[in-house]
Amino acid sequence: MIDLKEAAGFINMNNDSVIIIGAGPAGLTAAYELVQNGICPNVLEKGDMVGGMARTKTYKAYRFDVGGHRFITNIEAVQNLWETILGKDLIKVPRLSSIFYQKRFFRYPLHLSDVLATLGIFESILILLSYFKSRSWPFREEKSFEQWVSNRFGERLYRTFFKAYTEKVWGIPCSKIRSEWAKQRIKGLSIVSVTLNALLGFQKSKSLINEFYYPSEGPGMMWEGFKSAISSQGGQVRLNSEAVSLNHADGRIVNVACCINKNEIIEMPVSHLISSMPVDQLIAKLDPKAPDNVLEAANKLDYRSFILVGLIIEKKSLFPDQWLYIQDPKIRVGRIQNFKNWSLAMVPDPQKTSLGMEYFCTDGDELWSMSDSELIRLATKELAGLGLAQDKDVLNGFVIRQPDAYPIYDEDHNEHLGVVRDFLGTIENLQTIGRNGMHRYNNMDHSMYTGMLSAKNVLGARHDLWDFEETYPDVVRKDVVSQRAFEETVIQTFVRMDKLALAIAVGAVSGLFFFLLTVWLIVKGGDIVGPHLQLLGQYFIGYTVTLKGAFIALGYGFFWGFLFGGLFAFFRNFFMAYYVYRAKKKAEFLSFRDFFDQL
Ligand SMILES: Cc1cc2nc3c(=O)[nH]c(=O)nc-3n(C[C@H](O)[C@H](O)[C@H](O)COP(=O)(O)OP(=O)(O)OC[C@H]3O[C@@H](n4cnc5c(N)ncnc54)[C@H](O)[C@@H]3O)c2cc1C
C-alpha cells in the first residue's frame, strides 16, 4: 500500500477529490466539464490509452477503430464540444455502406429498385410474392423478431437481408429475440415527420443517414484532444490505473483503492465519485459488499463482446464503402470496415488498404477463446471466401478484443437494472455514467451527455441521469426542437374533426345566412321583393321572400349545412386516418432501412 503523502504527486489533492473512473467518452467529458469550472478531477483509466470502446489503435502506422465510430448527434452541447476540441480535424464524411450478399453489393440503407435490379427478376418475384403472402396471412401473434419483421416485409426479404446479420450480432436465433426489442429500436422515428415529408415534401433528417462526422485520424484523436485539454487545465488523466475497490460508509463512497501498473495500490479519498466502468463490476468492487439481491441482479446484467481483426492488404482499393454488412450465415465475420474510406489519414500508404473484420461473440465462447493467430487466419480465409481479396494479398494482421461491448436487453433487464439502480441511489456521492456505467445501449453522444450532467451535479445541479432523455428536452439540437415545434403545430391542425360540432356549426351559419338575407330583402322592400332569391323556392319547397319564408329558409339552410358539414368532417377524417396509416407503414419501412445502424 502506498502512503498518501508519497502519492501526492500522483493525485490531485488541491481541491475537492473528485474521482472519475474510466477515460472513455463519458469519463473524459465529465472531467472536461469539471476543469472548465475550476475543479481538477483525477481520471483513473485501467487501460494504456484513452477513448474506451471508441479508442483508435495504431498498428504498423495504420489506424484502427474498435468498430467504425460515426460521430452523429442531436445534442447541440455535444456537437459543440466535438467541434471545439477538434476544429477542422472533424471532417464530414458522406456515408457509403452496403450489404454483401452472395458476392453482390446492395446499397444500405436499402433501396427497393436496387434490391430488385441486383437480385434479378426471378428472385424479385419470389420476394414480392412472399411479401403479399405475409400481408394477406400475417402471423397472428408477433412474439418474435422473426415474426415481426416477416409480417412487415415478407419472410423471403427477411431471410435474405436481416436474419443472418442480426443473429451474428446477438448470438441467438431471431425466433428467440422478442418482438418488443424491434419495436423499441424503431420507436424513436416520428410518424409525424414522415407524414410531413409526404405532405409537404420535407427531407428526412439528412445527417442521420447520409453523412456523419469523423476525426481525420480516427476517434482516438478526439479523446487525445480531451486528455490534453483536461491536463492543461489542471486535471489528471492517469493511464494503467485501475479502480479495484470502492470503500463506503454511511451512504457515501469514502475512498477508492487504485492499482497502478498492475502492482502498486494507493487509496484515494473521495468527495464525489463518477464511474463509467460496467455497473455490475462497480457493484462487485464495493466494500463492504452490496446486499446479496443487488449482487445477484448485477450479475445478471449481460453483454456481448466484440473482436476486431485488423488486416493490412496489398491492394489500393477493394470496395468504395466505409463498411459492409456480411449477410452470409456460413461466414462468421459480421461487418467489414474499410478505414481509408472513412479518412485517408487512417492509412500511411495509399497503395494499401486496412480492413477491420468484426466478429461478435460472447466472453469465453469459441471465437473469444481463439488465439490471435487463429483469428487472423480465420479472417484471412473468410475475406478470400467472400471474394474480396486473396490470401496472398494479406500482409499483416492483429487483433483487438473488446469485452462488454454491447449491453444485452433481455427479458429481465429492466427488473435487474432497477434493483441495481435503487441501491446505487442510496450512495449519495456516487454517479454512474456512460454506456456500461448505466448498462444502456448508448452511443458516444448520449454517453458523453451523461458525463456532462454528472459534472454539473458535482457543481450543485440535480439532474436525473437515468431519465435524461425524457426529462431534458435540451438534449436535442435547436433545429430538431424547431422541427418538433412545427410538428406540434401541424398535429394541432390535423387533429380529428368533430363531425357533430362541424355539422351544427355549418348548419347554423348557412341557416342564419338565408334567414338574414331574406329579412334584409324584406326590410329593403320594393315593387317585387327579392326577385332573384324567390328562385330559391325551387329548391326549398314552400320558400318565399316573406317572414314565414325566412324561417323556412332557416330550417332548410340548417338542414343542408348540417348534412354538408357532417359529411365533410366524415370524409376528411376518413382520408386523414388512411393517410396516417400509410405514413405509419412508411415510417416503419424507413426506420427499417437503417435498422442495422440501431443493432
Ligand atoms: C463495435 C462498436 C461500434 C460502435 N460504433 C459507434 C458509432 O458508430 N457511433 C457512436 O456514437 N457510438 C458507437 N459505439 C458506442 C461507443 O463506443 C460508446 O457509446 C462509448 O464508447 C461509451 O463511452 P463510455 O465512456 O460510456 O464507456 P467506455 O468507452 O467503455 O469507457 C469506459 C472506460 O472505463 C475504463 N474502465 C473500466 N473499468 C475500469 C476500472 N475498474 N478502473 C479504471 N478504468 C476502468 C475502460 O477501460 C474504458 O476505457 C460503438 C460501440 C462498439 C462496441
Please tell me the pTM assigned to this model.
0.82
* 492 falls within a domain: no
Q: Do both 473 and 514 map to the same domain?
A: no
Dist CA 266 CA 44 (whole Å): 12
Q: Do both 374 and 466 map to the same domain?
A: no
pLDDT at 485: 61
What sign does the dihedral 494-497-503-505 (CA atoms) show?
Answer: negative
Reading across the β-sheet that carries 394-407, which strands appear in turn?
104-108, 97-101, 323-326, 335-338, 353-361, 303-313, 394-407
User: Looking at ligand 1, which residue's alpha carbon is closest to its atom 37?
Assistant: 277
Dist CA 110 CA 592 (whole Å): 9
154-168: pLDDT as tens digits: 899 889 888 998 899
Q: Do both 85 and 231 map to the same domain?
A: yes
Mean pLDDT of 356-360: 97
pLDDT at 256: 97
Count how many domains the chain has: 4
> By three-state DSSP, how is residue 71 classified?
strand
Tell which atom from ligand 1 comes closest to the C-alpha of 25. 25
> By three-state DSSP, how is residue 580 classified?
helix
C-alpha separations of 257 from 290, 375, 454 in Å: 17, 36, 22
Tell which atom from ligand 1 comes closest to the C-alpha of 53. 29
Last residue of a domain, one of 211, 234, 269: 211
443, 450, 597, 599, best to mutate for ligand 1 pocket (most atoms within 8 Å of CB):
443
User: Looking at ligand 1, which residue's alpha carbon is closest to its atom 53?
Assistant: 405
Mean pLDDT of 463-476: 71
Local confidence band at 481 (pLDDT 50, 70, 90 cut-offs): low
* 508 falls within a domain: yes
* 179 falls within a domain: yes
Reading across the β-sheet that carries 264-269, which strands appear in turn?
264-269, 252-260, 241-249, 286-287
C-alpha grid cell for residue 176?
Answer: 428467440
Q: How far is the CA of 59 from the centre of ligand 1 (A)?
A: 20
Dist CA 367 CA 378 (whole Å): 10
Q: Do both 237 and 315 map to the same domain?
A: no
- Could you tell me the CATH number of the domain that includes residue 349? 3.90.660.10
Dist CA 325 CA 109 (whole Å): 11
Q: How far is the CA of 357 from the centre of ligand 1 (A)?
A: 19
Q: Do both 103 and 154 map to the same domain?
A: yes
Residue 476 — φ and ψ, nearest 5°?
-95, 150
212-235: pLDDT as tens digits: 999 999 999 999 999 999 999 999
276, 404, 408, best to mutate for ligand 1 pocket (most atoms within 8 Å of CB):
276
End-to-end CA distance of the chain: 44
* 283 falls within a domain: yes
444, 449, 597, best to mutate for ligand 1 pocket (most atoms within 8 Å of CB):
444
Dist CA 33 CA 45 (whole Å): 18
What is the span of the domain harbouring residue 218?
A: 6-57+72-89+213-301+410-479
Q: Do both 321 and 420 map to the same domain?
A: no
DSSP H or E run through 252: strand 252-260
Q: How far is the CA of 448 from the centre of ligand 1 (A)?
A: 10
Tell which atom from ligand 1 comes closest to the C-alpha of 244. 41
Tell which atom from ligand 1 comes closest to the C-alpha of 242. 42
Last residue of a domain, one of 418, 445, 479: 479
> Helix/strand/coil (H, E, C) string of 316-383?
CCCCCCCEEEECCCCCCCCEEEEHHHCCHHHCCCCCCEEEEEEEEECCCCHHHHCCHHHHHHHHHHHH
* 556 falls within a domain: yes
Tell which atom from ligand 1 comes closest to the C-alpha of 26. 25
pLDDT at 189: 43
* Percent residues over pLDDT 70 in the chain: 85
Q: Do both 117 and 178 map to the same domain?
A: yes
Q: How far is the CA of 154 from the centre of ligand 1 (A)?
A: 36
DSSP H or E run through 571: helix 547-593
Q: Which residues line ligand 1 (CB under 6 A)?
A: 21-27, 44-47, 52-54, 66-70, 242-243, 276-277, 306, 402, 405, 434-437, 442-445, 447
Q: How far is the CA of 272 from the centre of ligand 1 (A)?
A: 22
Q: By mean pLDDT, which of 158-162, 194-198, 411-415 is the weakest? A: 194-198
Helices (H), 39-111: 76-86
Last residue of a domain, one of 144, 178, 211: 211
Q: Do both 253 and 294 map to the same domain?
A: yes
Q: What residues contact 523, with CB distance under 8 A and at least 6 apart?
A: none
Q: Do both 403 and 414 map to the same domain?
A: no
Dist CA 254 CA 251 (whole Å): 9
* 378 falls within a domain: yes
Q: Do both 507 and 532 map to the same domain?
A: yes
Write the DSSP string, 165-221: HHHHHHSS-GGGSBHHHHHHHHTTS-HHHHHHHHHH-PPP-HHHHHEEEEETT-THH
pLDDT at 202: 47
> By three-state DSSP, how is residue 490 classified?
helix
19-45: pLDDT as tens digits: 999 999 999 999 999 999 999 999 999
Q: Do both 442 and 295 map to the same domain?
A: yes
C-alpha separations of 473 from 73, 333, 335, 477, 567 in Å: 14, 39, 34, 9, 40
Tell which atom from ligand 1 comes closest to the C-alpha of 241. 43
Q: How far is the CA of 106 from the centre of ligand 1 (A)?
A: 30
pLDDT at 594: 64
Q: Do both 204 and 103 map to the same domain?
A: yes
- Could you tell me the CATH number of the domain that includes residue 422? 3.50.50.60
280-314: pLDDT as tens digits: 999 999 999 999 999 999 999 999 999 999 999 99
User: Looking at ligand 1, which residue's alpha carbon is closest to its atom 48?
Assistant: 52
417-456: pLDDT as tens digits: 999 999 999 999 999 999 999 999 889 999 999 999 999 9
Q: How far is the CA of 56 from the centre of ligand 1 (A)?
A: 12
DSSP H or E run through 489: helix 478-493
Q: By mean pLDDT, which of 184-198, 212-226, 251-265, 392-406 is the weakest? A: 184-198
DSSP character at residue 538? G
* 524 falls within a domain: yes
Q: How far is the CA of 38 from the centre of ligand 1 (A)?
A: 26
20, 69, 212, 305, best to mutate for ligand 1 pocket (most atoms within 8 Å of CB):
69
> Bridge partners of 122?
none
User: Looking at ligand 1, which residue's alpha carbon is closest to its atom 29?
Assistant: 52
* 63 falls within a domain: no
